[in-house]
Amino acid sequence: MIFIGIIVGISGDLVYHFMWDTQSVPKGELQKIVQSPKGDYRANIYSGTGGATVDSSVLVEIENNKTKEKKNIFWEYHCDNVKVKWLSENVIRINEKKMNIKKDVYDFRHQ
């Protein structure tokens, strides 16, 4: 019985990671890079096209220029373009959504 619980738990974690975790989203093609005001971070903007059966999407990844650590903070489906503006070193506006890059994540599937 414990073995079955472990298998179900591991399976649930894998499903979450590949189905719901923004960090596992395919990036697509790099379209643009927008540097933060002080240059500590950069927003890497990717567009994905799925072909005939999947609509376009936009993914924004924040990269720390010193450590090279990366984190996906924005993913929107049915989206052809994106407007990105840094409001401060830690706050960015992406398609009218104001986000703190340290704690906020937007994923259209969770809205």
What pLDDT digit, counting tens, does each position of 59-76 carry? 999 999 999 999 999 988
User: Which segment of 2-6, 54-58, 73-77, 107-111 scores lowest on mean pLDDT?
Assistant: 2-6
Please name which of 49, 51, 40, 68 lies closest in space to residue 59, comparing C-alpha atoms. 49
| Integer CA distances (angstroms), 102 to 7, 22, 55, 89, in order | 33, 15, 29, 10
Mean pLDDT for 27-48 is 92
Decide if 74 contacts 60 (C-beta within 8 A).
yes
Q: Give the separation between CA 9 and CA 12, rounded to whole angstroms.
A: 5
Name the percent of the chain lying above pLDDT 70.
66
Contacts of residue 19, Cβ cutoff 8 Å, sequence gap at least 6: none
pLDDT digits (tens, 9 = 90+) for 80-95: 778 999 999 999 999 9
Chain centroid, CA 102 distance in Å: 13
Question: Which residues make Cβ contacts (< 8 Å) with residue 28, sequence separation at least 6?
Answer: 46, 47, 48, 49, 57, 59
pLDDT of residue 29: 86
Average pLDDT over residues 31-38: 97
User: Domain coordinates of the chain in residue numbers?
Assistant: 27-110
